Amino acid sequence: MDAQTMSDDNTRMSPFYRGWLRPPLSSQSYDWVFSNAVIEHVGGPARQQLFASEIRRVARKGYFVATPNRNFPVDPHTLLPLYQFLSPQLQRKVCRFSPGYMKEYEQIDLLSAGDLQFLFQRDVRKMGMRFFPNNLVAYRMSTRCKWKNKMAQPGENFSVLGVGVMPCKSSDVVARMEEWIAQRAMSHDCRHRHARNYGSASRPCI
């Protein structure tokens, strides 16, 4: 397995490339683990369970795992309706008609909210379109993590084809992740506290 380490300020980020699913890392050796649209590509339920267990093992502060929603009616890779519910044999036949970027068959195992919740043993947040959420996120923040509301500092602007662009440092990405997870973790804890006290999780959190 190959890894490259990028750093700016005091933040280190190491992207691990697809290959061996058991990286040679100690338990809780990384503060945060971020995965976006990867778990559906690792190759079947057994590997997905291994992928999830390794994320849970390695992350010290928490993790953020996003994946397309299997129950969204359009497959995001082929843009074909209900493609994800077809057998592999039928997928091989219809994939060539794809208006999306994937025009040759490859194994993709999309997950439902229930699947993702089973893998991570955490509540899953549905995101994207309001009535048909097209993305799912499993996230966790350790109760031992002391979160600080630190906002990303603006960088030096530059332009691409006349359009202003603000560069984003890896430390800014980590700060945003911490902020996003902490806000939702606090909201989740508040709902459960009200459910215990009042017998309903629908009461507003004040």
What are the angstrom distances between the C-alpha of 94 and each of 43, 75, 78, 86, 188? 20, 13, 10, 10, 42
Q: Is the pLDDT score of 89 beyond 70?
A: yes
**Amino acid, res. 60:** R
> Which stretches of the chain are assigned E, i.e. beta strand?
6-8, 11-13, 30-36, 59-68, 124-127, 135-141, 158-160, 163-165
pLDDT, position 141: 77
Q: Which residue has the higher pLDDT, 173 or 103?
A: 103
For residues 112 and 110, give the distance between their C-alpha atoms in angstroms, rounded to a whole number. Answer: 7
Q: Per-residue pLDDT tens for 5-57? A: 444 445 555 555 444 456 677 888 888 888 889 999 998 999 999 999 999 99
Query: Of 186, 92, 99, whose CA–CA distance to 139 is shortest?
Result: 186
Burial class (CB in 10 A: 0-12, 13-18, 19+), 142: middle
What pLDDT was estimated at residue 21? Answer: 57
pLDDT cut 70: percent of the chain above it = 60
Q: Express each pLDDT in 91-105 by its tens digit.
A: 999 999 999 999 999
pLDDT of residue 20: 46
Distance CA(190)–CA(198), nearest Å, equals: 12
pLDDT for 131: 84
Q: How confident is the model at residue 167 (pLDDT cuts 50, 70, 90)?
A: very low
Q: Give pLDDT, residue 183.
A: 74
What pLDDT was estimated at residue 196? 54
d(CA 66, CA 167): 23
Could you give the residue ranges of the DSSP H alpha helices within 17-169? 45-58, 88-94, 113-120
155 pLDDT higher than 70: no
C-alpha 110/C-alpha 75 separation (Å) is 9
Instruction: Please give the domain boundaries of the chain with CATH numbers for all domains.
Output: 6-70+110-198 (3.40.50)
Confidence of residue 149 (pLDDT cuts 50, 70, 90): very low
Whether the predicted model's global pTM rises above the 0.75 cut: no
